[in-house]
Amino acid sequence: MVQLFKFLLKSTKTPARAHFRCNFLDTLRLTVRGGHGGNGLPKYGGVGGQGGCVYFVAKEGLTLRKVAQNIREKRVQASNGEDSSKVSIYGKRGMDQRIEVPLGVQVYDEQQQKLLADLNEPDSSCIVAGGGTGGCVGNNFIGRPGESRTVQLDLKLIADVGLVGFPNAGKSTLLKAISNAKSKIAAYPFTTIRPQVGTVEYADLRSITIADLPGLIEGAHANFGMGHKFLKHIERTRLLLFMVDIFGFQLSPRHAHRDCLSNIYALNKELELYDPELLEKPCVLLINKMDKEGAQELLLNLKPCLTDLNSSLSACPGELRPNRVIRFKHILPISAKNSGRIIQVKQKLRGTLDELAEEQLVTDSKVLKEQLKQRVGVIGPKIT
DSSP assignment of 280-310, as one string? GS-EEEEEE-TTSTTHHHHHHHHHHHHH-GG
The residue ranking higher by pLDDT, 159 or 129, is 129
pLDDT-derived band at 159, boundaries 50, 70, 90: confident
pLDDT digits (tens, 9 = 90+) for 332-348: 999 988 888 889 999 99
The residue ranking higher by pLDDT, 24 or 158, is 158
Give the model's pLDDT for residue 1: 53
Any residues with CB less than 8 A from the CB of 136 and at least 6 apart, and which?
A: 40, 47, 48
Pairing of strands 114-119, 161-164: unpaired
Residue 225 has pLDDT above 70, yes or no: no
The residue ranking higher by pLDDT, 95 or 366, is 95
Residue 189 has pLDDT above 60, yes or no: no
Give the model's pLDDT for residue 218: 47
Query: What average pLDDT does the segment 143-156 reach?
Result: 93
- What pTM does this model have? 0.72
Query: What average pLDDT does the segment 360-364 reach?
Result: 83
Query: What average pLDDT does the segment 276-289 reach?
Result: 92
Give the model's pLDDT for residue 20: 40
> How far is 97 from 151, CA to CA, in rounded Å?
15
Helix, strand or coil for residue 108? strand
